[in-house]
Chains A and B, each alone.
Chain A
Amino acid sequence: MAARALINVPPKAKRGEVIGIKSLISHEMETGFRPNATGQLIPRNIIKEFVCTYNGVEVFRAEFFPAVSANPFVSFTTLATESGTITMTWNGDNGFFATESVAITVE
């Protein structure tokens, strides 16, 4: 099944207000350090990068490493500047790519 992402952005905000953004994505975040039943290392399979853009402007970026838990949850804040779209993308090993967008109205 494709990756599932859950994102939480307030649908409405006042101009200049600090808004909280939360994101959660399903991913096993296999570290690459664990052996399988036959002693072979399970290949690393992690999300490497998370980026959030607000109307095309990058407002948050995070690099992920093997120590990040499965199903990573990221919470951060930004300034509500104008109405538009908040887009989040996740990139990782084995060509993993996921993106989610949500609209925000700023008054």
Chain B
Amino acid sequence: MPAWRIAAALAIVGVAFPAIAEIPAADRKSGYDFMSRESRAMQDDDTANAGMLWVLDGETLWNRHVGAEKSCAGCHGDARTSMKGVAARYPAFSPALGRPVNLEQRINICRTDRQQAKPFAYESKDLLALTAFVGRQSRGEPIAVPDDAHTRKFIDRGRDAFTRRQGQLNLSCAQCHDDNWSGRLAGNPVTQGQPTGYPIYRLEWQNLGSLQRRLRNCLTGVRTVVPALGAQELVELELFLMWRARGMPLETPGVRP
């Protein structure tokens, strides 16, 4: 069946049945659980997981003196202890900016403010490497973005974006990832869209990529206006997705087909 017919069928399903509520904690599944045995083996073995190539590069960058001759390690010391659990709590509210920032943005804030160096471009090898390295220190830690007075408003905005129908296909994220996650779309599992392994090494990309890159993929798929990398609405959507995946273990760097 061509993809447009499946999409049309999904849209009809969405019309026919009211939206199903949030996936209960016991039914939450990482993208890992939808993968083939071979892909899982790739993620599980650090010498087969291509994401580890970026983690190793990130470790080098962590110790490199840049800008004002400061390294990440100069302030934060050994990442294995200082960064443990950090990635599981991002995007986090920045009091200085009055809005949540994701891990990539946080790294760039450190880079410009503390190291007085040029920020990395989104999706650049260096930014992905540092993000993967920091994320790796939280592997196995439960996702726990704070749900408090500061973040609540932004989580709600992310939820609005998640449940809002958009694009020429008039689909919301929730119609696939809450209501039809056990189905398949053009032969591939729909999945729940849990952001458990970012940045991920996606075999299709032959590269490491951020959650925002993945979100932009889906948004292109429903043919809507795709926000630029780093856009506030994408950060809010990231925040909502991490809140939605609360309690699930982080797998960074994940491997996905």
Listed in ascending order, the chain A residues whose CB lies under 8 Å from chain B are 1, 4, 6-8, 22, 24, 26, 29, 69-71, 73, 75
**B56: A residues at CB distance < 8 A:** 4, 6
User: Contact partner of B48 among A1, A24, A69, CB < 8 A?
Assistant: A24
Please determine whether A70 and B57 come into contact, CB atoms closer than 8 angstroms: no
State the Cβ distance, A30 to closest chain B Cβ, in Å. 11
Tell me if B47 is interfacial: C-beta within 8 Å of chain A: yes
State the Cβ distance, B213 to closest chain A Cβ, in Å. 16
User: Contact partner of B50 among A1, A7, A29, A73, CB < 8 A?
Assistant: A73
Please determine whether A24 and B57 come into contact, CB atoms closer than 8 angstroms: no
**B52: A residues at CB distance < 8 A:** 6
Tell me if B161 is interfacial: C-beta within 8 Å of chain A: no
**A29: B residues at CB distance < 8 A:** 206
User: Contact partner of A8 among B45, B60, B125, CB < 8 A?
Assistant: B45
Please determine whether A70 and B206 come into contact, CB atoms closer than 8 angstroms: yes
Please determine whether A6 and B206 come into contact, CB atoms closer than 8 angstroms: no
**A26: B residues at CB distance < 8 A:** 50, 53
B224-257: which residues lie under 8 A (CB-CB) from chain A? none
**A24: B residues at CB distance < 8 A:** 47-48, 50, 53
B188-221: which residues lie under 8 A (CB-CB) from chain A? 203, 206-207
Listed in ascending order, the chain B residues whose CB lies under 8 Å from chain A are 42, 45-48, 50, 52-53, 56-57, 60, 125, 203, 206-207
**Contact status of A8 and B47, CB under 8 A, knowing A1-B57, A24-B53, A71-B53:** yes
State the Cβ distance, A79 to closest chain B Cβ, in Å. 21
**A7: B residues at CB distance < 8 A:** 47
Please determine whether A22 and B206 come into contact, CB atoms closer than 8 angstroms: no
**B48: A residues at CB distance < 8 A:** 6, 8, 22, 24, 73, 75
Please determine whether A71 and B206 come into contact, CB atoms closer than 8 angstroms: yes
**A73: B residues at CB distance < 8 A:** 42, 48, 50
Complex Cα distance, B125 from A71, in Å, reads 14
User: Contact partner of A4 among B45, B46, B57, B206, CB < 8 A?
Assistant: B57
Complex Cα distance, B65 from A94, in Å, reads 29
**A1: B residues at CB distance < 8 A:** 57, 60, 125
29 cross-chain CB contacts under 8 A: A1-B57, A1-B60, A4-B53, A4-B57, A6-B46, A6-B47, A6-B48, A6-B52, A6-B53, A6-B56, A7-B47, A8-B45, A8-B47, A22-B45, A22-B47, A24-B48, A24-B50, A24-B53, A26-B50, A26-B53, A69-B203, A69-B206, A70-B207, A71-B50, A71-B53, A71-B206, A73-B48, A73-B50, A75-B48
**B125: A residues at CB distance < 8 A:** 1
Nearest-CB residue, chain A, relative to B55: A4
**A70: B residues at CB distance < 8 A:** 206-207
**A69: B residues at CB distance < 8 A:** 203, 206
**A8: B residues at CB distance < 8 A:** 45, 47-48
Nearest-CB residue, chain A, relative to B201: A71
**B60: A residues at CB distance < 8 A:** 1
Smallest CB-CB A-B distances: 7 pairs: A8-B47, A70-B206, A26-B53, A6-B47, A4-B53, A71-B50, A69-B206
Pick the most buried of B45, B46, B48: most chain A CB atoms within 10 A of its CB: B48
State the Cβ distance, A88 to closest chain B Cβ, in Å. 12
**B46: A residues at CB distance < 8 A:** 6
